[in-house]
Amino acid sequence: MLRLEEWHQPDLFETKPSQSEVYRQLAEVLATADLSKYHPSEEPNTHWTNWPDSGGL
Confirm whether pTM is higher than 0.75.
Answer: yes
Average pLDDT of the residues in 6-34:
94
User: Does 56 score more than 80 pLDDT?
Assistant: no
State how far the Cα of 51 lies from the Cα of 5, in Å rounded to an integer. Answer: 16
State how far the Cα of 8 lies from the Cα of 5, in Å rounded to an integer. Answer: 11
- Quick one: pLDDT at residue 30? 95
